Amino acid sequence: MPPIVDPKKCNGCAGREESFCEEACPGDLMYVGQDGKSHCHAARDCWDCMSCVKMCPRNAIETRMPYQLGYHKARLVPLMGKNSITWKCTDINGQTVTYKYRNRLDVKD
């Protein structure tokens, strides 16, 4: 049931012309509704690419495996750093593993 937006955390990127998750979605699936929160047009059309999850500055979006494919409930949370990314993954048994690595090189001008 991807992606799940937490309405308590989401503010629709108020003040931005377009929210970060709208900008991130390759399927044009995210939109900010009348309630000022982000929503997904159709959960079934999501590719689970997690671009919106990575881009959200308030960590308000979670990708959840469709139950038809994976059991309740595992979590994978990215934290974007400068030139690095940290992922925290918790499986259905509560085991947590963290991965951190460089995702950009410093570019000399």
Partner 1 sequence: MPRMAPNPPSLDAVETVRVDCDVLIIGGGNAGCFSAVEAAKLDPSLKVVIMEKAHIMRSGACSAGMDAINTYIPEGKTPEDLVRWCRSQVGGGPIREDLALSNARELNESVDDLERWGLPILRDDKGNIRYRGAWDISIHGEQLKPIMAEKAIEAGAEVHNRVACTQLLMDGNRCIGALGFGVRDGKFYVFRAKATINATGGAAGLYKSYTADATDSHHQIWMCPYCVGTGYAVGIRQGAEMTSMEQRWVATRTKDFCGPVDTISVGYKAPIINAKGERIMQSRYAHLGADKAPRYIRANAPMEEWLAGRGPTYCDTRGMAPELAQQMMTDYLNERPSFVLFLASRGQDPVKEPIEIYGSDPYIVGGHTQSGFWVDMERMTTIPGLFAAGETAGGNPNKFVGGCAAEGKLALRGAAAYIAGLELPEPDAAQVEAEKARVFAPLLRGEAFDGLRALEMEERLQRLMDEYAGGTSQFYRTNEERLDYALKHLAMLRSQVQYLKAGDLHDLMAVHEVIDRIDVAEVLCHHLRFRKETRWQGWQTRSDYPEVDPAYDCHVESRKNLATGEIETFTRPYEQLVPGDRYKP
**What positions carry a catalytic annotation?**
47
Q: Does 63 bind partner 1 (CB under 8 A)?
A: yes
From the list 76, 79, 82, 109, which residue makes contact with partner 1 (rule: CB under 8 A)?
Answer: 76
Shortest distance in whole angstroms from residue 100 CB to partner 1: 9
Q: Report the alpha-carbon distance of residue 107 to residue 37 in Å, rounded.
A: 36
Taking CB under 8 A as the rule, which mask of x and - marks residues 4-33 in contact with partner 1?
-------------xx---xxxxxxxx-xx-
Q: Are strands 61-62 and 38-40 parallel, antiparallel or unpaired?
A: unpaired
Left, alpha or beta for 54 (phi > 0: left; psi -120 to 50: alpha)? alpha
Looking at residue 37, the DSSP 8-state letter turns out to be: S
Interface positions with partner 1 (CB under 8 A): 1-2, 17-18, 22-29, 31-32, 41, 43-51, 54-55, 63, 65-76, 78, 85, 87, 89-93, 97, 99, 101-107
